[in-house]
Amino acid sequence: MAFEDLLSEAGDMRRFQILQVLSFAITLIFISTHFLIENFTAFVPEHRCWVQLLDNTSASLNISGNLNFSSLLKLSIPLDSNGKLERCRRFFWPQGQPLGSNVIGQNLSQPEIEPCVDGWVYDQSSFTSSIVTEWDLVCDSWKLKSFCQSIFLAGILVGYLLLGYVSDRFGRKRMLPPAYLMVAVFSTGAGFAPTFPVYCCLRFLLGFSISGIFLFGFTLVMEWTTSKHRPLVTIILTLCMSLGHQFLGILSYGIQEWRKLQLVVSAPSFAFFLISWWLPESARWLIVHNKYDDALKVLRKVAKISGVKDDFLTVEALRSTMERELAATQTHYTILNLVRFPILRTRVLCMSFACFTTGMFFYGLSLDLQNLGSNIQMLQVLLGVSAFLSRVGALFLMNRLGRRTIAVACLLLAGLFILPRVFLPQGILRMVLAILGFSCIVVCISSNGVYVNELLPTEVRNTANGFILTVDRIGAVMAPLVNTLRQNIPALPQIIFAITTITASLLVFFFLPETQNQPMPDTIQEIQYGHSRKEARRREEGDPAVKISQF
């Protein structure tokens, strides 16, 4: 009996699986808020230099009543090339210089200008505080905001690289509660961070911990789900992440102080830490590690929860399953095998670039809402809704269109939607184009989750997926840094996003095959030969004319 059959007998998508998926789905709603929370906690409000004439009460009392606030503002803050107040410079007036009622008439054609040496004054109409206003991440320090966003995403990347081994070595369930606890501690700690460096360190550790939630929790759910129901479960979990993004936008309407918002989305993680203890360990992992007694206990527990008789569950059945599991994993491949075979190398590299592009595009837009419009709460909700609908739409599109067709069309359309924004001022049309491009990328991400698995053979699928996922995370880390290039050339980030997405669509079109309604390859030899019956017959007959080149 294979493990799939054993799992079906113990209860296939019954009460236990429903409770397990529900508990993990609820956690994802809150965990996903940490990905985009810095749209609000790192909000950059309108600001100007602090000046004594305007912001020092005692100094203002000594000024003639004929000078109103507008006049004092003209005396204090210069205008930029667009006629707006400078954010990072002010006029220099010697301390104690008397200002009479005729000061406006004085010759100010060549006033002395200095940076904001005394700090800044921030507009608090949208948010009362953020990490930007608390630690003055503006002017010369403006890049630190993007650096902080990249630090969080880098933590996720490092977590994916390191915690996969931990999951395989110590088990899924054993590591899941500590991961929830770390998320709770580090996310809450970020809300109490006394300094910006401490905040960045906590965000890095938070990203590292969140990767553990995905690796341990998602793997645990998938290993208790039969292959028949895995696509549906995957869609449900990804939809919950989109709900989390919508929830964050709604929550930000009522909470405008960054520390309170950080704490509100962090507190539920302590409850998730307690709830996660009821989840049983993966029976598949226990069987592979020769822990038959423990595997028998958890399978009987699952069968009891699901209301299924467990008479068929015996040590002999587990040993038979063990033999089949080991037989399926006799051959071990390393990452070097991904580049030794030409066709496999082409598939891995093309999909890596496509996933790098989608990761960079997704976070490049979703972490830069202030550049899309002024009402970022509404924009956050709109992006969450568009992502939700796009993932639902992807499910229907994948049943009607080919995987390659979806990838090529969505990547190309995303680039074509984002490119015209270079020539448009900030407004409704610019926002609509951004949301359309974002929706195309979400559809592409959903489709690629299936496409990658159909392109890669079973014997190297996990290794190749790990490499592609790493490249995807590198694209995500790069996204905030690409957005900083706007300081040099305002349109440069959008041009980069457009060029990379269009290039990725061309690579997929010219170098990757269609996989819809095609059998999934099990071995590297299958994708080298193809899936034709004639070639399969020649392989079985040992035709010497059919050879595999590793170079």
68 shares a domain with 18: no
pLDDT per position as a tens digit, 487-525: 888 888 899 999 999 999 999 999 888 887 777 676 777
Supply the range of the domain harboring residue 344: 336-525
2 shares a domain with 148: yes
208 shares a domain with 114: no
**Which pLDDT band holds residue 539 (cuts at 50, 70, 90)?**
very low
Domain edge (last residue) among 330, 359, 379:
330
Hey, CA dihedral for 507, 513, 516, 519, is it positive or negative? negative
| Section 272-298 average pLDDT | 80
175 inside domain = yes
pLDDT at 458: 67
The CA distances from residue 475 to 129, 220, 280, 452, in Å, are 30, 27, 35, 17
381 shares a domain with 314: no
Rounded Cα distance between 184 and 202, Å, is 11
Contact assessment for residue 267 and residue 188, using Cβ atoms and an 8 Å cutoff:
yes
262 shares a domain with 174: yes
As to burial, measured by CB atoms within 10 angstroms (0-12 exposed, 13-18 middle, 19+ buried), residue 334 is exposed
Q: How many domains does the chain have?
A: 3
542 inside domain = no
Contact assessment for residue 204 and residue 149, using Cβ atoms and an 8 Å cutoff:
no
Rounded Cα distance between 324 and 366, Å, is 45
12 inside domain = yes
Of 51-60, 193-202, 238-247, the poorest mean pLDDT is in: 51-60
The CA distances from residue 86 to 46, 75, 104, 113, in Å, are 10, 12, 19, 11
The CA distances from residue 171 to 175, 332, 335, in Å, are 7, 20, 23
Question: Residue 74 pLDDT more than 70?
Answer: yes
Residue 192 belongs to a domain with what CATH number?
1.20.1250.20
**Which pLDDT band holds residue 101 (cuts at 50, 70, 90)?**
very low
463 shares a domain with 356: yes
Question: Which among 329, 428, 324, 415 has a CA at the least distance from the CA of 373?
Answer: 428
Domain edge (last residue) among 330, 360, 394:
330
**Which pLDDT band holds residue 207 (cuts at 50, 70, 90)?**
very high
pLDDT at 104: 47
- Specify the pTM: 0.83
Question: Residue 408 pLDDT more than 80?
Answer: yes
pLDDT per position as a tens digit, 173-199: 888 899 999 999 999 999 999 999 999
67 shares a domain with 91: yes
Question: Residue 302 pLDDT more than 50?
Answer: yes
pLDDT per position as a tens digit, 114-145: 888 888 999 888 889 999 999 999 888 888 98
| Section 85-104 average pLDDT | 63
340 shares a domain with 271: no
**Which pLDDT band holds residue 474 (cuts at 50, 70, 90)?**
very high
| Section 224-228 average pLDDT | 75
pLDDT at 322: 61
CA-atom Rg of the chain in angstroms:
28
pLDDT at 450: 78
Rounded Cα distance between 151 and 198, Å, is 12
